[in-house]
Amino acid sequence: MLQESFRKFGVFEEDLSGDEMIVRYYEHNTLKQFMWGKPIRFGYKFLALCGVSVYCYNFDLYCGKGSANEENSDLLLGSEVVLNMLSVVNNPFSYNVYFDNLGFNATGTMREKTISKCPLKESNAMKKRTERNI
């Protein structure tokens, strides 16, 4: 019912962000997660699709790798998460999708260990270029 209420008006923003969040919970439960380096380290992990206004369009309780959607089971976990979150939009190609570490062909974060075979400049040269533009 909560998700239906969130989607009542449709997806009305062009820029969307997919990320994870923790809802604080300290009692014992098998779904409780621990995330090192987060302000709230113990609790339920949710994956969410939000707009730039921080309005939540879709969310899902993370229950572990084995709880994947059968439809996208041949994809990597990160790609599957992003596609499941984007299931609420009619045409995903008409949106700008931003995310961190979820592994899909869009704007995101590049990690040095995952781009070893890509023809990119060295990380030091990229850092200097970024610092010059700031």
Which tens digit of pLDDT belongs to each residue from 63-73?
A: 776 555 556 66
Q: Under a CB-based contact definition with an 8 Å cutoff, are residues 120 and 103 in contact?
A: no
Instruction: Kindly report the pTM of this predicted structure.
Output: 0.62
**The domain containing residue 73 runs over which residues?**
2-133
Return the structure tokens found at 108: 């995101």
pLDDT at 13 > cutoff 70:
yes
Residue linked to tokens 């596609």: 83
How many domains are contained in the chain? 1
Q: What type of residue sits at position 133?
A: N
The Cα 87–Cα 89 span in angstroms is: 6
**pLDDT tier, 134 (very low <50, low <70, confident <90, very high otherwise):** very low
